[in-house]
Amino acid sequence: MSAQPLYVNDDDFFPSNDEHEKWTHAGYEMVVGLEVHVELATQTKLFSASPNRFGDEPNTNIDPVTLGLPGALPVLNRHAVELAMRLGLALNCTVQKSTFARKNYFYPDMPKAYQISQYDEPINADGWLDLPDGFRVGIERGHLEEDTGKSTHIGGAGGRIHGSDYSLIDFNRAGVPLVEIVTRPDIRHPEQAKAYVSELRSILVAVGASDAKMEEGSMRVDANVSVRKPGADFNTRCEIKNVNSVRSVGRAIEYEAKRQIALHEAGEPVIQQTRHWDENDGKTHTLRSKEDADDYRYFLEPDLVTVDPGPEWIERVRAELPPLPAERRAALSASSGQPANSEAVMQVVERDQDAYVLEVGTAANGGDVALALKHVKEAPDLSTVVPAGRLAALTAMESSGAVTATQAKTIVESMIAGEHERDPEAIAAALGFEAMDTSELESMVDAAIAEQPEAWAKFCAGEGKAMGALVGAVMKASKGQADGKAVTALLNQKKS
């Protein structure tokens, strides 16, 4: 089954990835792929009925399966499968028949000494995610696996197990369902990596798959970084772990790319290894190199059976998907006339206030979506305290010229401050905001020209900058009540 895109951009022209800006340094470009682990927002664990809950007393959300007790058997959580499917479909993946494997290694917080993870047959494969600027990041796979417990090493240096006096293990997290989303090595710029993580987080939240809180560890990013001369073959890569914020993603890969470039330039080899990002010194440090990497001895997990969702389930999940952030930005862009990747559109959708803004546009009293977007972007509290109808009334006054942009802003502040019980007309009247008649405004403009003959001469000579002084004088004379657009129009009219 081939994946169908769920939405199209408002722009029907997709620029190719090559047309986007690349990060370069000393003639090298970076090649980056990201592996993002997200904890799924299920009630219970991936293979048992213990609660999947962050922040509880250590070792309270446990059971024989979580602890890997002898004789315990895993039973797959159907809700986790559905959330993984939702995410896969949102990332344009093919949702397919999948299996689980055992990844064998010893570590105290890994109860069975193997992790149950999808290996060669993941539930989601071959998708993509379009960044707001149209850059497309290929998705290789999005597979289900269980989380490990959490170790705290006491004593010794740096919180590492080596040299510590003892370790405490909390198994509450063990068995929590994860989806690991692996991109293709498409990313060429730190900003793209950051945008990818942000966009993925928005999608995760939108589809209800995860709360995606990087600070609580429910979303964790690893970056595979290499560098090369443009057009050359891929070079040896390093994997960067412990990247715990969107900002760190950009910093860590930029640091790592520069480190590798320096090695190449010095004629030294880049050794394939796992590196640890240190937020404090802003550097990556060797964690382990490939030579001492574990041999995980993957094999098919015999305690579980093949998961084959089948077309019916897949199509139901697809039909139930909510509008995704990109789709919502496109809708807001179309109604407001602002670009889909403009700050206003991005922010308002991110804050889940796009529905409110669009409601203004459909109000009976003739609201203006572009003006509503501007106000909501600048005043995030609007949507919670002012009904859409009242904001619509204000934008109608503003677009008809009954109040100026500056006055409208003041009215918005009054509404938020508690005067919203009154309608915007009443607030305008109370504040003494009355539409200035044209003759009054014209006499103010004439006065400003008379007072500043030099500025007027420069303006007439085509120096646009000179206009500022003239408009400023009118605003001052009108105590800020003049409509800047009307003043500009009058000045241009008089010039010709």
Partner 1 sequence: MSNEIPEQATMIAEAVRFGTVSASQVLEEHLARIDTREAEIHAFNLVLADEARERAAEIDSIVAEGRDPGPLAGVPVALKDNLCTRGIPTTCSSKILGDWKPPYDATVVKRLSEAGAVAVGKTNLDEFAMGSSTENSAFGPTRNPHDTTRVPGGSSGGSAAAVAAGFAAISLGSDTGGSIRQPAALCGTVGVKPTYGAVSRLGLIAFGSSLDQIGPFTHTVDDAALTLEAISGHDPADSTSIERPPLDLRSKLMMGAAGLRVGRVTDLPAGASPDVQQRLDEAFDALAAAGAEIVDVEVPAFGYGLTAYYLIAPAEASSNLARFDGVRFGARTSAPDTNQMYMATRTDGFGAEVKRRIMLGTYALSAGYQEAYYGRAQKVRRLIANDFAAAYANVDVILTPASPTVAFEVGDKASDPLAMYLCDTYTIPSNLSGDPGMSVPFGTGDHGLPVGVQVLAPALQDHTMFRAAAELERYVQSQQEGALA
Binding site for partner 1 (CB under 8 A): 64, 67-76, 102, 104, 106, 108, 111-114, 161-162, 167, 169, 295, 297-299, 302-305
Residue 361 to residue 369: CA distance in whole angstroms: 5
Of 169 and 314, which CB lies nearer to partner 1 in the complex structure?
169
Q: Which is nearer to partner 1, 13 or 166 (CB)?
A: 166
Is residue 496 classed exposed, middle or buried when 0-12, 13-18 and 19+ CB atoms within 10 A define those classes? Answer: exposed
Q: How far is the CB of 274 from partner 1 (least distance, A)?
A: 17
Min dist. Cβ of residue 362 to partner 1 (A): 49
* Least distance between partner 1 and beta carbon 108 (Å): 5
Q: What is the DSSP letter of 98?
A: B
Q: Which helix (H) or strand (E) holds 286?
A: strand 283-289
Q: Residue 149's CB: how many other CB atoms inside 10 A? A: 22
Closest CA to 183 of 229, 211, 223, 131: 223
CB 474 within 8 A of CB 448: yes
Identify any residues that bridge with 422 across adjacent strands, giving them in sequence order: none
Q: State the minimum distance, in angstroms, from the CB of residue 62 to partner 1.
A: 10
Q: How many angstroms from the chain centroid is the CA of residue 287?
A: 29
CA distance 420 to 379: 14
Q: How far is the CB of 105 from partner 1 (least distance, A)?
A: 9
Pick 78 or 285: Cβ nearer partner 1: 78
Write out the two tokens for 376. 């909501």
Q: Measure Cα distances from 249 to 85, 123, 316, 375 in Å.
A: 26, 27, 35, 32
Closer to partner 1 by Cβ: residue 302 or 432: 302
Pick 308 or 381: Cβ nearer partner 1:
308
Phi, psi for 472 (deg, rounded to 5): -60, -40
Q: Which CB atom, from 112 or from 251, has the smaller least distance to partner 1?
A: 112
Provide, rounded to whole angstroms, the least separation between the CB of residue 104 and partner 1.
5
